[in-house]
């Protein structure tokens, strides 16, 4: 099957992402056959390092798809980066504003248009000291239920050793193994056609992130906590 065409700017990013990914770590991609080769798909991933998007994008690109993200709107104001984000079809997220629903509409339209969309349901890097997932936000459920596309769980492990964002520590040497693994799509058939309310959104969100957590436990070869880590509140 022919590779999905991404255009000049996707190729431009690949020139930098591939060398960075392999020079900073020993990447290991597993289960990429679970990413649909065509049609819309939500790829729901854990988030433990600022370099996660590079390895997420590499995994999706190796699977012969064009990686697209829901990302913080502030990134669009960064010189050059904003140009790249706009030119590659990335989708800004406006949290806590009237534009937040517009972000979900744009994401749903991209999925219905056959795009593969990478989502980090936690919304930011996990603050769990042990790097397990935090309680996720419900945007991923809204996208999944509105579009009806497959939802593929993805996990990263090892990226936190390359770049520890909270401690501002970048350590490409000695090169560590970074594992990116995808699992089988989450079965959401029981929720199709149901009225989408707050309870359903929370249930679907936790189901999706529960699959991500379980997949991470397999990669780490250790038991996962029963509850999601909760952000500290003031």
198-227: pLDDT as tens digits: 999 999 999 999 999 999 999 999 999 999
- Calpha distance 58→67 (Å, rounded): 8
Please check whether residue 21 lies inside any domain of the structure.
Answer: no
Is residue 19 in a domain? Answer: no
CB 31 within 8 A of CB 153: no
- Does 11 reside within a domain? no
Alpha-carbon span 72 to 76, nearest angstrom: 8
CATH number at residue 105: 3.40.1130.10
C-alpha 206/C-alpha 91 separation (Å) is: 23
Work out the pLDDT band at 234, boundaries 50, 70, 90: very low
The reply to whether 108 falls in a domain is: yes
**Does 136 reside within a domain?**
yes
Residue 12 covered by a domain: no
Entry pTM? 0.90
Evaluated on CA atoms 52, 150, 6, 123, the torsion sign reads negative
In the 8-state DSSP scheme, what is residue 113? T
How many domains, the chain?
1
Residue 111 belongs to what domain range? 27-220
């Amino acid at each position: 099957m022919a590779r999905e065409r991404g255009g000049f700017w996707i190729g431009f990013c690949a020139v930098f992402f591939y060398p960075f990914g392999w020079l900073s770590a020993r990447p290991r991609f597993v289960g990429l056959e679970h990413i649909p080769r065509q049609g819309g798909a939500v790829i729901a991933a854990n988030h433990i390092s600022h370099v996660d998007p590079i390895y997420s994008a590499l995994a999706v690109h190796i699977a012969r798809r064009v990686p697209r993200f829901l990302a913080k709107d502030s990134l669009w104001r960064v010189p050059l980066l904003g140009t790249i984000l706009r030119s590659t079809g990335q989708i800004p997220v406006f949290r806590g504003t009237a534009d937040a629903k517009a972000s979900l509409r744009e994401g749903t339209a991209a999925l219905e248009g056959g795009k593969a969309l990478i989502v980090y349901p936690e919304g930011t890097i996990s603050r769990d000291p042990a790097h397990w997932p935090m309680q996720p936000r419900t945007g991923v459920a809204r996208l999944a239920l509105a579009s009806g596309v497959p939802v593929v769980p993805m996990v990263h492990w090892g990226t936190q050793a390359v770049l520890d964002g909270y401690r501002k520590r970048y350590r490409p040497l000695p090169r560590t193994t970074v594992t990116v693994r995808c699992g089988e799509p989450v079965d959401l058939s029981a929720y199709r056609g149901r009225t989408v309310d707050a309870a359903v959104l929370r249930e679907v969100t936790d189901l999706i992130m529960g699959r991500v957590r379980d997949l991470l436990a397999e990669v780490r070869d250790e038991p996962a906590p029963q509850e999601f880590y909760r952000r500290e509140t003031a």
